[in-house]
Amino acid sequence: MSSIKVTKAEPFSLRISEIAPDKSISHRCAMFAMLADGTSEIENFLRAEDTLNSLQIVKNLGATVEDDGVVIKISSEGIKESSEVLDCGNSGTGMRLFCGLLSSAEGHFVLTGDEYLRRRPMKRVTAPLRDIGAKLDGRNNGDLAPLSIRGASLRAFNYESKIASAQVKSAMILAALRADGECSYSEPELSRDHTERMLKGMGADIEVDGLTTKIKPMKKLLSPLKIRVPSDPSSAFFFAVAAAITPSSDVVLEGVTLNPTRIEAFEALRKMGADITYETTDNKYEPIGNIHVKHAPLHAITVEDNISWLIDELPALSIAFACADGVSVVKNAEELRVKESDRISTVVRGLRACGIEVEEVHDGYSVKGSKLQSATINSYGDHRIAMSFMIAGLKCGVEVEDVACVNTSFPNFFELLQKITSVEFA
């Protein structure tokens, strides 16, 4: 399947309980289970390419993985050197977090990924890890994969990151757990905090005070995880936008993590005028519940704060901007340029192809809402670009090329999209 045609949607009213499980949490489950004494039990693990690659790497590193199709059980007797090259596929989260985990492990490891991941910057983790004694290298002086790691003793650190990145923070926290003293990490804005919540829940000595996280090295192995992974708000958001832009439509998205660092895009959509309510139903490591989104006329907004809280949803939010009254503006979002594609450029190109007036600047763009026109869109191999423009197709009909990338995060996306409109695979 290389391209897909989506036709204009009729009004719909849906409850969706099958949104893909959270990608960030699933990666962490696989990796953190290697730090536990005993068997971790993970229900609703995301069975998509990115996270299955992390699970395979954990197996390559010596963990025992039992999977009955519902619960995945992982037990480990410490990280073992692997004779395999560790393939992270398309996943920046996988590669960057494994750098932190493996920097202190005994042995030699090689991490690689697909053509897109091998172009993405890794210095943001390799540089601070090297500064504390990690023996890490890669092309372009440690910036580009394949990366090689020779486990080493790590020094305690106080690191002030210039970017709000959960991947960098998580890599450094994983390194700190094996460093030779108490460490602290601070960031300019709070990035998603699953690592802190999950490791604390497993018994790690981690304290969060505003933008600073203090980590004491592990004195003993952690308690195993017992978790049901909630649905992924970044995946759910495609259907939130679908309801918000389709007159007389509404959707209830069930069992989604309501972690405040993850639902900012829903808040942005609410500020645009969509009718959005939350219902908390559970709290394990983080709040979980349902999000109800109803169509309403949308108006333009400016997005410039807490960008890391909605960075993954900006492509889909931009489809809502195109359907809103007025000019929406995105600022302070240069991080978009180093995602699975340069998402400033790929969003701008896609919207222009749909006849929307867009202006691009180095750290963002502006979108003048008007009528979307039917177009053929290149996804540039980026899952979120592919899915965002399929949602645009609900307004105008589109053909999106190169859609196999959807399998990296949301394999049942097409099935759910078919509940709203007709979808033709080419």
Q: Which residues contribute to the site for ligand S3P (CB under 6 A)? A: 24, 93, 165-167, 170, 191-192, 308, 311-312, 335
Q: Cα–Cα–Cα angle for 117, 118, 121, nearest 5°? A: 80
C-beta of 45: minimal distance to ligand S3P in Å?
A: 15
Report CA-CA distances (Å) from 401 to 193, 367, 387: 34, 23, 11
C-beta of 335: minimal distance to ligand S3P in Å?
A: 6
Residue 50 a catalytic site member: no
C-beta of 150: minimal distance to ligand S3P in Å?
A: 25
Name the catalytic one among 312, 342, 382, 402. 312
Nearest-angstrom CA–CA distance, 408 and 405:
6
- CB closer to ligand S3P out of 192 and 395: 192
- CB closer to ligand S3P out of 94 and 255: 94
Nearest-angstrom CA–CA distance, 402 and 405:
7
Strand, coil or helix: what is 127?
Answer: helix
Report CA-CA distances (Å) from 240 to 16, 68, 317, 349, 361: 11, 32, 10, 23, 27
C-beta of 247: minimal distance to ligand S3P in Å?
A: 31
CA atoms in the 13 A half-sphere facing the CB of 65? 22
- CB closer to ligand S3P out of 124 and 295: 124
Nearest-angstrom CA–CA distance, 143 and 145:
7
- CB closer to ligand S3P out of 24 and 53: 24
What single letter denotes the amino acid at residue 19?
I
With residue 287 as reference, give the H or E element that holds it.
strand 286-294
- CB closer to ligand S3P out of 102 and 300: 102
Instruction: Confirm if 151 and 175 have CB atoms less than 8 A apart.
Output: no
C-beta of 340: minimal distance to ligand S3P in Å?
A: 8
Enumerate the active-site residues. Answer: 312
